[in-house]
Amino acid sequence: MSSFEAGRSAYDAAIKATPERKDGMFTTLSGAPVQPLYTRADVAKLDHEHDLGLPGEFPYTRGIHATMYRGRLWTMRQFAGFGTATETNERFKYLLEHGQTGLSVAFDFPTLMGYDSDHARSRGEVGRCGVAIDSVDDMAALFAGIPMDQVSTSMTINGPAAMLFAFYIAAAERQGVSGDNLRGTIQNDILKEYHAQNSWLVGPEPSMRVITDIFKYGRDHVPQWNTVSISGYHIREAGSTAGQELAFTLADGLCYIDEGVKAGLELDDFAPRLSFFFDVHIDFFEEIAKFRAARRIWARELKKRGARNPRSMLLRTHAQTAGVSLTAQQPENNIVRTAIEALAAVLGGTQSLHTNSYDEALALPTEKAVQIALRTQQVIAYETGVPHVIDPLGGSYFVEALTDRLEAECYEYFRKIEELGGMFPAIDGGFFRREIARSSFQQQKEVESGKRKIVGVNCFESAEAAEPTLLYVDPKLEEEQKKRVQRTRAERDALKVEAALRKLEAACRSDDQNVMAALVDCARVRVTQGEMCGVCRQVWGEYRKLAAV
C-alpha cells in the first residue's frame, strides 16, 4: 500500500468517528466538490513553464508584475458616493486624508439610468445610493479642491458611461488639466448589464458602437485612461458561481476586443487600456484560484488574437469584497468576512482593492465604518507580511488544482456561447440570465435549508437586535439637486446647447463621426446627461428585450 493510500485509509477511519463532520458540505461556495487532501497527482498535467511561469512573464498566472507588491502595493480605492456632489466631495477628502490612494465614484440610480434629477422617474431616488451628477457643474463640484491630474479616479457607470466620462474631461479642463494627464477608469461595461445589472440605455449593438468610439477617443485624447473595466462583480452579486463570473466576464472582454478590431482599431492600440473588476467572495481558495485562472486565460486568448504588445495580454484588475456576503444580522461579523475576502484578493494578485464597510447591508456606510474598511487593507499591507512574497500560494496542489478546474469550466462556457452564435444572440436568448438565476436559486436553497451555514443568519443566531449608527441621507438634498440642475439649464447658452445636441444626433446617425467627441462638446456647454441620453434613446430606441429565465 502506498503512503497516499495508507493516509486515505487513516482518514476514512477517522472521519467515521466524527459524524457531525462526516456529512459536512465539503464543496466550494460554487458547489464544486473538495477533496480532503491534494497531492502531486492532482496537478500531474500542470506544466510549470507553460501554465505557471514566473511573475511578470507569460501566461502571468503568478502575477502581471515581476515585483508585485514588493515593488508597489495595490491601490486602496474605496467606493464612495451619496447625496449631492458637495457631500461626496467631503467623503473623498476624508478618505484621502486617512490614506486612501485612489478614488472611486458611486452614482445614484437616476444617474445610472440616464435621467436628470428633476425627471419624474428620479423622484425619491436622488442621492440615495450614490451621488447625483447631472452636468459638468456637478462633476466640477465633486472634485473641487482635488487636483485631477494627481489622483486616479474610477467611475462605476455603464449605460451613460460616455456622458459621465465627458463630464470628467470637461471638469478637468476647468481645472486646467488636459486629457493627457488624466488617469483612471470608466466601467463602461454594457454587456454585463444585459447579463445581470439591468441599467442600460439602448440595445447591445448601438451600445457597442459608442464603446468603440470611446476606445478611439481615449487612444487619441486620454491615453492613460482605462476606457472599459470589464466587470464580473455584478454578475457574481446577482448569484453566479465563481466559474460563471470568470467565464462570462472574460467572454465579455473578448467581445470588446473583437468589436474594437471590427471597428478598425489595431488590437495593441486599445487592448492595454482594458481593465477588469472582480468580486472577492468568502470562499478563500476558490477566489484566489479565480484570479490566477483569469490572468492565464486572458493572456492566451489575446495572444491567439495576434497581440504583440505584452501589455495587451496583462489582465489588470480591481477587486471588491462581496457585498452579497454581508449580513444585516450581527453586522460586526462583516468586518471579519471583509478581512478574509480582502486577503484573498491580495493573495490572488489584484492591482486595486475596495473593502466593503460592515454596515452596508443596512445603509450607506458611516465614516467610522469606512475607516475600519480602509484600515483592514492597511493592516494587511503593513502588518501581516503577506506582500513580502510574490504569489506565496503558487505551487500549492490545492490552489493549482482549483485554478485548472476553473479554467476548464471557463472554456466549457466559451464553447456554449459560441454554439449559441456568439455574445449578442446569447444575450437576446437569455442564456446568461438563466445560468445566473439557476445558480442563485441553488445557493439560496442551501442557505434556507441550513445546508450552507451563514453565521448569525441560520446558525449561531442572537436574540439581541443590532442597532448600529446609520448614515442618514436628508431628503432635502433631492430638492437642492433638482434646483441645481434647473439653474444650470437657466444659466447656460441655449444656442450653444442646441448646436451641440444637433451635432450629437448627427454623430449617432452617422457611421463616420465619433459619438464620444460630440458628447465632450456637449459637456463643455453644460448639456445635462439626461438630455444627451435622450438623444441616444431617440436615435437608437430603448432596449426592452428580456428573455424569460
CATH number of the domain that residue 84 is part of = 3.20.20.240
Do the domain assignments include residue 195? yes
Per-residue confidence (pLDDT) for residue 10, from 0 to 100: 76
| Structure confidence by residue, pLDDT tens digits, 113-130 | 999 999 999 999 999 999
Do the domain assignments include residue 267? yes
How many domains would you assign to the chain?
1
Query: CA 433: distance to chain centroid?
Result: 18
What band does 5 get if pLDDT is binned at 50, 70 and 90? low
Class of residue 222 by CB neighbours under 10 A (exposed 0-12, middle 13-18, buried 19+): buried
Do the domain assignments include residue 436? yes
Tally helices (H) and strands (E) across the chain.
21, 9
Grid cell, residue 19, equals: 459524524
Is the confidence at residue 466, as pLDDT, over 80?
Answer: no
Instruction: Give yes or no for a contact between 361 and 327, defined as CB atoms under 8 angstroms apart.
Output: yes
Do the domain assignments include residue 538? no
Is the confidence at residue 82, as pLDDT, over 70?
Answer: yes
* Cis-peptide, bond into residue 19, ω within 30° of zero: no
Average pLDDT over residues 455-483: 87
* Cα angle for residues 47, 50, 53 (degrees, 5° grid): 100
Do the domain assignments include residue 25? no
Average pLDDT over residues 440-449: 95
Do the domain assignments include residue 31? no
* Cis-peptide, bond into residue 59, ω within 30° of zero: yes
Per-residue confidence (pLDDT) for residue 269, from 0 to 100: 94
Cell 450653444 belongs to which residue? Answer: 496
Instruction: Give yes or no for a contact between 126 and 78, defined as CB atoms under 8 angstroms apart.
Output: no
Grid cell, residue 91, equals: 467623503
- What is d(CA 31, CA 451) in angstroms, rounded to the nearest whole number? 12
Per-residue confidence (pLDDT) for residue 142, from 0 to 100: 97
Instruction: Give yes or no for a contact between 390 and 62, defined as CB atoms under 8 angstroms apart.
Output: yes
Name the H helices within 329-366.
Answer: 333-348
Do the domain assignments include residue 264? yes
Per-residue confidence (pLDDT) for residue 396, from 0 to 100: 96
Do the domain assignments include residue 254? yes
Lowest mean per-residue pLDDT among 194-198, 293-297, 391-395, 507-511: 194-198
Average pLDDT over residues 261-282: 96
Is the confidence at residue 395, as pLDDT, over 80?
Answer: yes
Is the confidence at residue 154, as pLDDT, over 80?
Answer: yes
Residue of 474, 417, 532 whose CA lies nearest to 133: 532
Is the confidence at residue 545, as pLDDT, over 70?
Answer: no
Average pLDDT over residues 105-111: 96
Which amino acid type is present at position 86? Answer: T
| Structure confidence by residue, pLDDT tens digits, 203-255 | 999 999 999 999 999 999 999 999 999 999 999 999 999 999 999 999 999 99
Average pLDDT over residues 2-22: 67
Question: pTM of the prediction?
Answer: 0.93
Crossing angle of helices 494-509 and 515-524, rounded to 10°: 170
Query: Considering the chain, what percentage of its residues have pLDDT values greater than 70?
Result: 96
Per-residue confidence (pLDDT) for residue 46, from 0 to 100: 81
- What is d(CA 171, CA 177) in angstroms, rounded to the nearest whole number? 9
Name the H helices within 305-366.
Answer: 333-348
Which residues constitute the domain of residue 256? Answer: 63-449
Please, which residues have CB within 8 angstroms of residue 447's CB and are 6 or more apart in sequence?
454, 457, 458
Per-residue confidence (pLDDT) for residue 489, from 0 to 100: 97
Per-residue confidence (pLDDT) for residue 199, from 0 to 100: 85
Average pLDDT over residues 355-381: 95
- What is d(CA 272, CA 264) in angstroms, rounded to the nearest whole number? 16
What band does 3 get if pLDDT is binned at 50, 70 and 90? low
Average pLDDT over residues 386-398: 96
How many residues can be counted in the chain?
549
Per-residue confidence (pLDDT) for residue 473, from 0 to 100: 82
Give the CA distances from residue 19 to residues 13, 16, 212, 368, in Å, rounded to whole numbers and listed in that order.
11, 6, 58, 43
Is the confidence at residue 302, as pLDDT, over 60?
Answer: yes
Please, which residues have CB within 8 angstroms of residue 57's CB and are 6 or more apart in sequence?
66
Per-residue confidence (pLDDT) for residue 11, from 0 to 100: 72
Which helix (H) or strand (E) covers residue 223, if one does?
none
Per-residue confidence (pLDDT) for residue 549, from 0 to 100: 52
Per-residue confidence (pLDDT) for residue 45, from 0 to 100: 83
Name the H helices within 356-475.
Answer: 367-382, 397-419, 423-428, 431-449
Per-residue confidence (pLDDT) for residue 533, from 0 to 100: 97
